[in-house]
Structure 1
């Protein structure tokens, strides 16, 4: 088929363009395809891991129902080892910590709370774990360690709870003046008609605050 001069110039221009940029464009398209496939593959892997973690978590529910702390510990350990970045592992660790505390196994309870603090992704869950750890340290009469935990960074929404528990620790430590300050600060952090307000006020009144 014959082309007129204008058409031939257009064809030559396209050929020249592809000679100069063809390899680069092909490379970009290939890289984009690989990246897309990689993303899809990673999403599929994440979904599979989430399903496996959920299935493993069912063993925790069964162990709790059976009140079998040995099986509970085994199930949580599996989650921590194989699905440590999942919310299931964090939740399981908190459950095991409570079960261990109820059985007076404070060492196990402490180790689980520390695992949550080291590996958990959710700041609110971390704050709950830190409060429980500080409460455990209070029970162990390691007051300075408990206060150190309560002084660590946490979401602002937990300020009143941290200050309230700090007041309890200071009372146990025998520092009534500092405890009063902590309770007053806790009251100042409460919003509106919080159910904790009267409880904290009662403790403050008991100190003559």
Structure 2
């Protein structure tokens, strides 16, 4: 750190600094302003895009809930094109409608698309859980077990254990099903879910 004996030396030092670094400072200021303007534009763009996606999502879901098959095409297009949370939620809505209509292959497709669009771990877990249930209904137990592996988080342990038991039982693996349900009962299962898994274990011996 330089030490100056009077104010004139300080002024001269400042002048020399700007003479040597003025151009760099000017560029820095310009870049700083540009970054600020760009950041504000990006935020505005993101807000507009999010608002548009939200409105399009509401329209798509309304079409799905109207339960008119002819309107599903637009909703399916939206779910396939929106690679974000809105697209994932739209896929879930469509999948439920297809399950209710017993069109399980179409439900599976929507859930796979939703899974690819989702970024939130909890949302991914919800989709994986529903996908595993659909695959079980489609008599694809191995695929369902594989799907369960994608569900992370201690909070899901009991629900996953319950469904794993169902899948293993569908394969004729009673011992594996019992082990899954026993693990579920020992986890953080709710009283109702624990009781249900105990009943399932009791039914294995009948």
TM-score (norm 2): 0.89
| Match in the other structure for 1:142 | 140
The Cα shift of 1:123 comes to 1.0
Q: Does 1:200 align with 2:189?
A: no
CA distance in 2, matches of 1:159, 1:35: 46
Tell me the number of residue pairs that the alignment of Structure 1 and Structure 2 aligns: 201
1:92 maps to what in 2?
90
Instruction: Choose the corresponding residue for 2:150, options 146, 149, 152.
Output: 152
Distance 1:112 1:182 in 2: 28
For structure 2, the residue ranges without an aligned partner over 5 or more in a row are 1-5
Matches within 5 A, 1:16-27: 16-27=16-27
Aligned to 1:61: 61
Structure 1 runs (4+) greater than 4 angstroms displaced: 6-11
Query: 1:7-86 alignment to 2 at 5 Å?
Result: 9-81=9-81, 83-85=82-84
Alpha-carbon deviations, 1:79-133, whole Å to 9, x = none? 541x322x22111110001101111221211111111221201111111111111
With the length of structure 1 as denominator, give the TM-score of the two structures: 0.88
Aligned-partner SS, 2:191: coil
Equivalent of 1:129 in 127, 130, 138: 127
Whether contact under 8 Å (1:160, 1:189) holds in the other structure is: yes
1:69–1:99 Cα contact (<8 Å) kept = no
Tell me what 2:3 maps to.
Answer: none
- Please tell me the root mean square deviation across aligned C-alpha atoms, in Å: 2.0
Alpha-carbon separation, structure 2, partners of 1:11 and 1:129: 67
- 1:162 corresponds in structure 2 to 160
Find 1:107's aligned residue among 105, 108, 113: 105
Measured in 2, the distance between the counterparts of 1:65 and 1:170 equals 34
Tell me, yes or no, if the aligned pair for 1:56 and 1:79 is still in contact at 8 Å: no
Contact 2:60 2:78 in 1 (8 A): no
Deviation at 1:171, TM superposition (A): 0.8
Retained in 1: the 8 A contact 2:124–2:151?
A: no
Asked if 2 retains the 8 angstrom alpha-carbon contact of 1:76 and 1:89, the reply is: no
Q: Which runs of 5+ in 1 are unaligned?
A: 1-5
The yes-or-no answer on 1:179 pairing with 2:185 is: no
Please tell me whether the aligned partners of residues 97 and 109 of structure 1 are also in contact (alpha carbons under 8 angstroms).
yes
2: CA distance, partners of 1:100 / 1:84: 21
Distance 1:175 1:8, change over 3 A: closer
